[in-house]
Each structure stands twice: as structure tokens, then as C-alpha cells.
């Protein structure tokens, strides 16, 4: 599977988890609450710990893992708020501007940043606009392709 396909599959796995969670909150689906904060149990987490670990540069992988962990922590907090009958706070967290969606957007943006990279001869990903001289610290900053927004916002 190509890198872009891997990233798209990872994005789809994350979106599916989030949509299933929201369906559960709305009474339309079942959900395994015991694993809600387990970042290695969802399909995205499994990808991140396996294929993602091999293909994502270390610093970016660490950042993606941290945001992914935060996402699951927020989901667990939403369940806790519901158990404590703090419904207004839970509704705020799942709103468009709430913590769950904002963290999801951050995760998506990191994956989109990853998709702007291409494989190097070593198999890891390097920025497409990188002009490597082989010296550390000589990389150019990553910029989006012309015509594309810097931070696309969707519900994923």
C-alpha cells in the first residue's frame, strides 16, 4: 500500500472511531467503554504503533501519538461527565468547537502534514521540498502545495 493510501486509511480509521463514539453517545451504536482510553486498541492506534511507527519520522510520530492519546483521554472524560450527569459539559466537548472535535482536527492536520512528505531512500518520510545536503538542520520548512488551504477544516 502506498504512503498516501496508508495515511488515508489511517484518517478513515480515526473518523470511523469518532463517528461510532458519537453514534454511541446518541444511542445509535454500541461501544466498548472499557477500551475507550486505550490508544492501542482502535484501528488508528494499531496502525500508528506498527506501520506508522516505521514510516513516520520520530519527532512527528511522537507528536501524533501525544495528540491521539489526548483524543482518547477527552473521549473518556466525556463518558465520565455523562456518568456524573454533567451533560452540558459533555455536550460542549462533543460540539463542533468542543475539545473532541478540535483534538480530532489537530490529529487530522498532523496526518495531512505527513501526507505532504515523500519516502526517502531509507524508507522514512522526508519533506517534499527538502533539499538535503546530508547535514542535520539543513531541511527547509514544509509548505502546502499551491492552491490548497494550510489547515483544511472538516468534521474528521
User: What pLDDT, in 10s, does the model give residues 45-74?
Assistant: 999 999 898 888 999 999 999 999 999 999
User: Which is it for the CA torsion 77, 31, 68, 93, positive or negative?
Assistant: negative
pLDDT band at residue 154 under the 50/70/90 scheme: very low
Strand segments (E) across the chain: 117-119, 125-127
Q: Indicate whether 140 belongs to any domain.
A: no
C-alpha R_g of the chain: 17
Q: What is this structure's pTM?
A: 0.72
Q: Indicate whether 138 belongs to any domain.
A: no
Q: Indicate whether 22 belongs to any domain.
A: yes
Three-state DSSP state, 149: coil
How many structural domains does the chain have?
Answer: 1
Q: Indicate whether 100 belongs to any domain.
A: yes
CATH of the domain at 122: 1.20.120.30
Q: Indicate whether 26 belongs to any domain.
A: yes
Interatomic CA distance for residues 70 and 73, integer angstroms: 5
Q: Indicate whether 94 belongs to any domain.
A: yes
Q: Indicate whether 93 belongs to any domain.
A: yes
Minimal CA–CA distance to 12: which of 47, 56, 39?
A: 47
Exposure string over 125-141, b if 16+ CB within 10 A, otherwise e: bbbeeeeeeeeeeeeee
Exposure string over 83-107, b if 16+ CB within 10 A, otherwise e: eeeeeeebeebbeeebbbbebbbbb
Tell me which residue range forms the domain holding 86: 3-127
User: What pLDDT, in 10s, does the model give residues 74-106?
Assistant: 999 999 999 999 999 999 999 999 999 999 999
Three-state DSSP state, 126: strand
Q: Indicate whether 9 belongs to any domain.
A: yes
pLDDT band at residue 127 under the 50/70/90 scheme: very low
Amino acid at each position: 500500500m502506498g504512503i498516501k493510501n496508508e495515511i488515508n486509511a489511517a484518517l478513515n480509521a480515526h473518523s470511523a472511531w469518532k463517528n461510532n463514539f458519537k453514534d454511541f453517545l446518541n444511542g445509535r451504536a454500541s461501544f466498548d467503554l472499557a477500551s475507550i482510553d486505550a490508544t492501542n486498541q482502535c484501528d488508528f492506534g494499531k496502525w500508528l504503533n506498527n506501520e506508522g511507527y516505521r514510516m513516520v519520522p520520530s519527532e512527528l510520530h511522537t507528536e501524533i501519538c501525544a495528540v491521539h492519546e489526548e483524543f482518547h483521554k477527552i473521549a473518556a472524560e466525556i463518558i465520565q461527565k455523562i456518568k456524573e450527569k454533567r451533560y452540558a459539559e459533555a455536550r460542549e466537548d462533543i460540539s463542533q468547537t468542543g475539545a473532541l472535535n478540535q483534538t480530532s482536527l489537530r490529529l487530522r492536520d498532523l496526518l495531512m502534514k505527513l501526507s505532504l512528505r515523500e519516502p526517502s531512500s531509507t524508507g522514512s518520510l522526508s519533506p517534499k521540498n527538502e533539499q538535503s545536503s546530508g547535514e542535520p538542520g539543513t531541511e527547509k520548512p514544509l509548505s502546502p502545495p499551491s492552491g490548497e488551504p494550510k489547515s483544511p477544516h472538516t468534521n474528521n
